[in-house]
Amino acid sequence: MTSNFSKMVEGSRKMVSLLFVLSLFSALSDAKLSVTPTKGVPWPMPMDYKTTGKQNTVDAASFRFTTRSVECDILLDAYVRYREAIFGRNADRFHAMRQSPKFVQMFSQEGDIGEVSVDVSKPCQGSYPSLESDESYSLSVANGQVMISAQEVWGALWGLETFVQLVYKSDTGEYVVNDTIISDKPRFAHRGLLLDTSRHFLSTRNLLRNLDAMAQNKLNVFHWHIVDDQSFPYESMAFPELSSKGSYFPESQVYTPTDVAEVIEFARLRGIRVVAEFDSPGHTQSWGLGQKGFLTECYSGEKPDGSYGPADPTLNTTFPFLKQFFAEVASVFPDQYIHLGGDEVSFTCWQSNPVIKDFMQKMSYGTNYAKLEEYYMQNLLDIINSLKRGYIIWQEVIDNGAKVRPDTVVEVWKGGWEEEMEKVTKQGYKTLLASCWYLNYISYGSDWTTYYTCDPQKFNGTDAQKALVMGGELTMWGEYVDDTNVLSRLWPRASAVAERLWSPQDVNFPLVAQPRLIEQRCRMIRRGIPAEPVTGPGTCPVEYREP
């Protein structure tokens, strides 16, 4: 603790923490006063964050972002977004009107800071983010100047997001930002959020709003669990019947190629990867409606009983179909990785089917249906491999013994994850953790603290093993979630996971995080996301308005 007092003048992260704890304890003892939120403190917490109390006013009328070196579409789009994020919807009108004397009289706020200067080293026009992206940046607010510099545009985007969060309204209503020095980069490269658009459809509009919310929390992978048993809303150009027969309402609850392209582009401009998951051989009931013969027919005794099981690995139509289907998927989704699922494969239907039983004999699998599952996955993985894409799979594929490429990413979702992480990393696979972040499992009270304190590297393993943890994902499975409640249920609980995945490991005291989380929630509300209350009674200065 003594070493931190020497940094007191600079107001380091830890000192800020101590002050928060002290103020918290005094605040909580009075029934009326809820916890006071911070002002202008970023979320997630940067790796290195030093701030003084010196306030600079921001000149709203003349404010602009400028690029010092490399210019590109991503930066230009960000500048428009972030000016609005700071000053509200009227930002552009302010900018355009600033020449009018009357306007200048009314709205002009002579300020110290009128410009944010952005410096990106590598060219970025038309780029897509990837697992290897450099997301580091440095940000300084000093001597009336704001500078953001980054190797790649992805870092610059995060620097801009951080800067926007530093701006707050003083007691007199001016836009201000404190002198600040930040050097920042994420702890984990893969910080994902899963949405399930099969159990319930989610409008494209809400997918886009959610990408905005993710960007406000520096989450960088949208794991789109797009189809499942119950519905198939993905409109395939090669196989249109998949959605025309498999979606809930083909007229309205499908994602057209345009919708999908819109989501991918919207994400790209925010530094977010879109990883599509087409889960098989299980979780595929809806495929069978539009693709007859894809699923296994289940038998009662000698005859099919009308029900279906997982994809049928024994038919010679299955893998040609999958090859053509995934060739299209690879052309639609530019990310290097495709998620292939592979979870929860039930063997009962396979066991009942005589054709399958014959196949098992022929292949010498005996009665070991895990081998049939492996056979299916192997073929599927080979297809993706031939398309030159990497794959992410759920843990069962490895648990059941399939052989996969070394650069496969394995996603751990079941209980007992500490042992599983140890096992999977020992085998040399890159790993993602989802198990402790099933945000669809709601409960009463401040469950965000549980999500906040789950650490993906808390398992027995060597440093080399720990280095294989790419990050993790929070999941919002769709059984009880749709457009009416998805955003309020996700946020700001997902923010807790976002900080765990971005910030250093020792930023993990919920009590200290709480006032910052309250500020982050109110910030998100001001920026149009209906983030729900998660810390008890209180309020935001600007309440939520449906945009």
Active site residues: 344
Parallel/antiparallel/unpaired status of strands 175-184 and 137-142? antiparallel
Binding flag, residue 245, other proteins (CB under 8 A): no
Stretch that binds other proteins, among 64-72, 323-331, 424-432, 477-485 (CB under 8 A): 477-485
Of 114 and 510, nearer to other proteins (C-beta) is 510
Binding flag, residue 52, other proteins (CB under 8 A): no
Q: Which of 117, 253, 256, 368 binds other proteins (CB under 8 A)?
A: 253
Binding flag, residue 25, other proteins (CB under 8 A): no
| Alpha-carbon gap, residue 538 to 31, rounded angstroms | 11
Count of residues near other proteins by CB under 8 A? 47
Q: Which of 2, 3, 29, 105 binds other proteins (CB under 8 A)?
A: 29
Stretch that binds other proteins, among 54-62, 72-80, 82-90, 197-205 (CB under 8 A): 197-205
Of 265 and 479, nearer to other proteins (C-beta) is 479
Binding flag, residue 481, other proteins (CB under 8 A): yes
- Tokens 């290097």 correspond to what residue? 336
| Alpha-carbon gap, residue 142 to 146, rounded angstroms | 7
CA angle 236, 241, 247 (to 5 degrees): 85
Q: Which of 2, 32, 172, 302 binds other proteins (CB under 8 A)?
A: 32
Strand ranges in 211-355 using DSSP code E only, listed in sequence order: 221-225, 273-280, 295-300, 303-311, 337-341
Of 314 and 440, nearer to other proteins (C-beta) is 440
| Alpha-carbon gap, residue 372 to 383, rounded angstroms | 17
Q: Exposed, middle or buried: residue 420 (CB in 10 Å: 0-12, 13-18, 19+)? A: buried
Q: Which of 171, 302, 506, 543 binds other proteins (CB under 8 A)?
A: 543
Residues 6+ apart with CB under 8 A from 382: none
In the complex, what is the shortest distance from the CB of residue 537 to other proteins, in angstroms, rounded to a whole number? 4
Stretch that binds other proteins, among 102-110, 245-253, 372-380, 501-509 (CB under 8 A): 245-253
Q: Tokens at residue 501, please?
A: 């995945």
Of 431 and 440, nearer to other proteins (C-beta) is 440
Stretch that binds other proteins, among 86-94, 219-227, 426-434, 473-481 (CB under 8 A): 473-481
Report which of 540, 513, 516, 515 is spatially closest to residue 528, judged by C-alpha positions.
Answer: 540
In the complex, what is the shortest distance from the CB of residue 260 to other proteins, in angstroms, rounded to a whole number? 15
Of 406 and 537, nearer to other proteins (C-beta) is 537
**Among residue numbers 204 through 243, which ones bind other proteins (CB under 8 A)?**
205, 229-231
- Tokens 């769709």 correspond to what residue? 478
Q: Crossing angle, helix 493-502 and helix 510-526, to 10 degrees?
A: 120
126-147 as b/e: b if 16+ CB within 10 A = ebbbebebebbbbbbbeeeebb
- Tokens 């109110």 correspond to what residue? 522
| Alpha-carbon gap, residue 191 to 216, rounded angstroms | 13
Of 89 and 545, nearer to other proteins (C-beta) is 545
Binding flag, residue 110, other proteins (CB under 8 A): no
In the complex, what is the shortest distance from the CB of residue 526 to other proteins, in angstroms, rounded to a whole number? 12
Q: Which of 440, 475, 503, 514 binds other proteins (CB under 8 A)?
A: 440
| Alpha-carbon gap, residue 70 to 127, rounded angstroms | 13
Of 53 and 444, nearer to other proteins (C-beta) is 444
| Alpha-carbon gap, residue 93 to 447, rounded angstroms | 41
Q: Which of 442, 464, 467, 505 binds other proteins (CB under 8 A)?
A: 442
| Alpha-carbon gap, residue 356 to 350, rounded angstroms | 6
Of 61 and 486, nearer to other proteins (C-beta) is 486
Beta bridge partners of residue 150, listed in sequence order = 120
Stretch that binds other proteins, among 171-179, 219-227, 443-451, 464-472 (CB under 8 A): 443-451
Q: Which of 243, 525, 527, 528 binds other proteins (CB under 8 A)?
A: 525
Binding flag, residue 1, other proteins (CB under 8 A): no
Q: With the C-alpha atoms ordered 9, 11, 13, 14, is the resulting torsion angle positive or negative?
A: positive
Report which of 127, 141, 317, 297 is spatially closest to residue 239, judged by C-alpha positions.
Answer: 317
Of 504 and 538, nearer to other proteins (C-beta) is 538
Q: Tokens at residue 10, please?
A: 């600079």
Stretch that binds other proteins, among 8-16, 359-367, 417-425, 531-539 (CB under 8 A): 531-539
**Which contiguous run of DSSP H or E holds residue 294?**
none
Binding flag, residue 36, other proteins (CB under 8 A): no
Report which of 279, 397, 281, 278 is spatially closest to residue 350, judged by C-alpha positions.
Answer: 281
Binding flag, residue 482, other proteins (CB under 8 A): yes
> For binding to other proteins (CB under 8 A), which residues are involved?
29-32, 34, 198-201, 203, 205, 229-231, 248-249, 252-253, 440-445, 478-485, 488-489, 525, 530-534, 536-539, 541, 543-544
